[in-house]
Structure 1
Amino acid sequence: MKNQKIQQGFTLLEALIAMFITASALLGLGLLHLKSVQQSQLATQRTIANIQANDLVDRMWANVCSLSTQQAGIITSWQGRWDPTTAGTLASNQSAMHQLLNSWQGTVTQPDTTKQRYQVVITWTNAKAAWYSSTAQTQSFTYNFTLPTCAS
């Protein structure tokens, strides 16, 4: 009979510890899911930035022989095509893709003027990443490419 009194309340303690471990595991899985959703959103945004950069490369490649005179116009046209406020003629799925990069800006520089090497930097505001910070996070994507010289 003495052995029964020593183990009194032990089952309740086991149940509380099991509940604490289960709650901790579920909280950890919830945080893991949130981080996964955040990284998925960032991957989507980086994919769209890559598509934007490739769009500019295609435009510049198509005009490689007249690039010295038409470069500013090509870049302006490219920026206008990806601007969600002026993209009213796009289909709904294209418009939705354009709106995924909030406050995006694209800059094109030519670090080496002796060769046709260019650098495209696309920056945008990632509002989804602000859940752990008081301000929205600025993301960027850098794309370097070289175009061939025009064979006259």
Structure 2
Amino acid sequence: MKKTVLFSILLSVFFLNSIAQTKEELVGTWTVTKVSLAPNAPKEFKEGYDKMVKGMQHSTMEFEQDGKCKIAILELMAKEAGASLNGKTSWVYNEIDKSIIVSEGSGKSKDTLMKMYVKKEGKKYMFIGDETYLVFDVKKNKK
């Protein structure tokens, strides 16, 4: 009896997670409403956190159905480095681990610029930076 109940609970959780966060849900423009630092962030990230957050608040992330994307944060970083992304960024969504990989270029010369995990709690979405320790609360813009 206990095994049946446990199996039912696990199956329900898996099913709920599997229907959430599809690529189609992510297509559109998202606005960052809040930026926070993950609790496990190293000390060096905490020291420069306030400076980083100012440029990210209210920035946008646009994911198109055809795989193209425009991430204001990445464009700003490229501009500060004296470079340009020239609108040549693309995104791929992995439904298994709920991650978005943003790349620049094409074919074999594609460079990964950012990886984020998508977390959905009710109607609230968060994009969690893989190596940046930043958590972006985001809201999808209405068309």
Q: Normalised by the size of structure 2, how large is the TM-score?
A: 0.31
Please tell me whether Structure 1 or Structure 2 has the larger radius of gyration of its CA atoms. 1
TM-score (norm 1): 0.30
